[in-house]
Amino acid sequence: MDTYKPPYVIAEIGCNHKGDMDIAKELIKVAKIFCNANAVKFQKRNNKELLTEEQYNQPHPNPANSYGNTYGEHREYLEFDVSQHQELKTFCEDIGIDYSTSVWDLTSAREITSLNPNFIKIPSACNNNVKMLEWLCENYHGELHISTGMTSKDEIDDLVNLFKKHKRNKDLVLYNCTSGYPVPFEYVCLLDINLLIEKYKNDVKHIGFSGHHLGIAVDIAAYTLGANIIERHYTLDRTWKGTDHAASLEPMGLRKLTRDLNAVYKALKFKNQDILPIEQEQRKKLKNQKA
């Protein structure tokens, strides 16, 4: 009996498009055609709602990565409006890859819900926004994926209970995540996947893994532990200007990740007979040799 679900790989484009629709579409195309990813994901923010006036008008903490004179200007430069997101979703549908977006505030949740994607993501930073979560439970009918970085075990419990109260927990996907860019291996804490599975496997739809580490070995281990949805930040060039590129996979890395996850999925089976057909010829040739 097979015990593992097929891997589902999400290429997190986020804001790595640098505010350019042509780059965004190129990232989608490469993720589908070259990397064989299952989905791409963007981000949507209403910056005036999300940030205080002081936060909006202060300088970017790392000016070398800023696309504006203030943090607010920087964020607005990288923002696509709803019609642009509709264009990106249509582009995804045309080439056969799932489209999704992380929503950071209630206005963005309403806007992306109007596009009716297969799933919407709530980032770790917003998983305690009860007003937004309840609105999504009541008004959006697809899967809701939520990262648990920067989140205590009690807070995760509260989150799952909120979804149970709204009878939406079977549409909930919980991601193991450590919030850092990039995350050193000793802080990835993969065994927390076991804790999520032990506690919530009968309550939620899937357990996922959202990684901000380097390389792809950790993702294979996450899948083997039972996280069938794997999300990684992805860019065309890790040296590009912006805070997420350094913790992202380039196309060849993402291609190898999907290749290796699918190989491991095929391998994670029990033998269905003691001696497999592939072994019979070798057994005849090798097993009965004289010592």
The mean predicted confidence, pLDDT, of the chain is 95
Domain of residue 210, CATH code: 3.20.20.70
How many other CB atoms sit within 10 Å of the CB of residue 187? 12
In a domain, 3, yes or no: no
pLDDT for 136 beyond 90: yes
Whether 269 is covered by a domain: the verdict is: yes
Q: Phi and psi at residue 274, in whole multiples of 5°?
A: -60, -45
pLDDT band at 240 (very low <50, low <70, confident <90, very high): confident
Question: Quick check: is 141 in a domain?
Answer: yes
Task: Label residue 243 by pLDDT band (50, 70, 90).
Answer: confident
In a domain, residue 195? The reply is yes
pLDDT by residue (tens digit) across 84-129?
999 999 999 999 999 999 999 999 999 999 999 999 999 999 999 9
36 in any annotated domain: yes
- Asked, for residue 283, whether it belongs to a domain, the answer is yes
The per-residue pLDDT for 61 is 87
How much is the pLDDT for 289?
63
Distance CA 207, CA 264 (A): 18
| Residue 1 placed within a domain | no
Question: How many structural domains comprise the chain?
Answer: 1
How do residues 63-88 score in pLDDT, each as one tens digit? 888 898 999 999 999 999 999 999 99
Identify whether 97 is part of a domain.
yes
If pLDDT is split at 50, 70 and 90, which confidence band does 1 have? very low
Q: Can you give the pLDDT at residue 2?
A: 54
Beta strands of 15-161 (E only): which ranges? 39-44, 98-103, 119-122, 143-147
Domain around 100: 8-287
